[in-house]
């Protein structure tokens, strides 16, 4: 449920901020970034849940760090792909990406830790 609040909050913040921006490419990249981070976040939670269901006795700290590392790599590939194929000339496209990256990373780190604690307590 908290994930939905964060996701909706980022959506509304992006929507209101983009009302003052006159760059269609920046607006398009912002929404693509939002969709990318939303899908990555949902994937992380479902993968972690699947790992826990497969091996309930496993300490989840390792898989969490592995998933966050894979997320970082996926973000690097995402930015590199955009630069290679869709770069429009200005470098301001990176600002909404890093803002969303920061928000989603902080939220995921906190929530994944709480979720891991919940899963570990529920199997004892």
CB of 18 closer than 8 Å to CB of 2: no
pTM for this entry: 0.76
Q: What are 79-96's pLDDT values in tens digits? A: 888 888 877 667 777 888
Q: What are 25-60's pLDDT values in tens digits? A: 677 777 888 888 888 888 888 888 888 888 877 788
Q: Of 7-16, 71-80, 83-92, where does the model show the most confidence?
A: 71-80
Dmax (CA) of the chain: 55
Residue 77: predicted pLDDT: 92
Closest of 118, 116, 100, 113 to residue 6, by C-alpha:
100
Q: Which tokens in the block code for residue 122?
A: 């529920």
């Amino acid at each position: 449920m908290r994930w939905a609040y964060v996701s909706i909050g980022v959506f509304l913040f992006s929507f209101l901020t983009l009302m003052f921006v006159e760059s269609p490419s920046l607006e398009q990249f912002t929404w693509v970034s939002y969709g990318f981070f939303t899908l990555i976040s949902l994937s992380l939670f479902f993968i972690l849940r699947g790992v826990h269901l497969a091996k309930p006795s496993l300490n989840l700290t390792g898989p969490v760090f592995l998933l966050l590392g894979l997320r970082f790599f996926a973000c690097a590939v995402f930015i590199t792909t955009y630069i290679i194929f869709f770069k429009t000339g200005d470098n301001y496209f990176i600002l909404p990406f890093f803002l969303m990256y920061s928000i989603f990373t902080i939220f995921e780190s906190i929530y994944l830790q709480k979720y891991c604690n919940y899963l570990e307590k529920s199997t004892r």
